[in-house]
Amino acid sequence: MIRPQQSYMIWFAQRTGSTLFNEALASTGIAGNPSEWLHYQHNDPKTFTREDVERIWQSGTTPNGVFGLKMNFEQRWIDCFRQLFELPQEASRAEVWNHAFPNCTKHIYMTRRNKVRLAVSWWRAIVSGEWHRRTGEKPSAADLADQYHFDAINHLLVDSNMCEAAIEDFLTESGIVPLTIVYEDFIQDYEGTVRKALAYLGLQGDQVRIAPPAFDRLADEVAEQWVQRFREERQQGWEFVKW
């Protein structure tokens, strides 16, 4: 297996449009196939091998040698690669990452401005089992009427913020200035956002066809009711209500 000539990362928290984004990039045929390969192919760092790394390279690389990977930040993978490649403790986390994914000089960071809507979307996906809906498919028939849960949404709100804090700490420590993609902007300018990413990656994508959005939005009236209910309950008793 030939090592990738260029690698890049998509760092994301849940419900920020990362799956829609990675499918759009993969559809170009020149930007790798930046899926969650560490999660899909081998989710246990304790038994991870160099052969596993090569299989991930193969899965995520397009014929032009570009490799893409997306994931939440998890320190356990840094520890795994440090041991796997026998790197010293003084090697920075970015250096360790670059050993596993060659020439990983480009990083894309996906975020969402409204974290309450993110947390509600996440909880809705959990209770409905509908994480994505392919374009044109019928909505899930799950009955969500009684599935609102304040504590669960509050937990996911904190979880998403901690995930982003971990990503941002890694990027800042490593001196990496990523291309930041904001969910709310991405869904307003789908193709423009993808072409901006291709340009950032140094790929000549002006004439490349980008497939239409692969998924429909899942937000509905129930989700909006949950957003407003959580917003009110979370700030109950506050002297200065923020929203």
* Alpha-carbon distances, residue 51 vs 37, 45, 64, 88, 100 (angstroms): 14, 13, 21, 21, 11
Q: Residue with structure tokens 């795994």?
A: 80
The contacts of residue 56 (CB under 8 Å, 6+ apart) are 37, 38, 41, 42, 69
Angle between helix axes 190-200 and 18-27 (nearest 10 degrees) is: 70
Of 80, 63, 54, 68, the residue nearest 105 (C-alpha): 68
Q: Is 239 a catalytic residue?
A: no
Residue of 36, 86, 130, 173 marked catalytic: 36
Q: Residue with structure tokens 């804090």?
A: 165
Contact yes or no for 12/166 (Cβ under 8 A): no
Mapping DSSP onto H, E and C, the string for 93-121 reads HHHHHHHHCCCEEEEEEEECCCHHHHHHH
> What are the residue numbers of the active site?
36
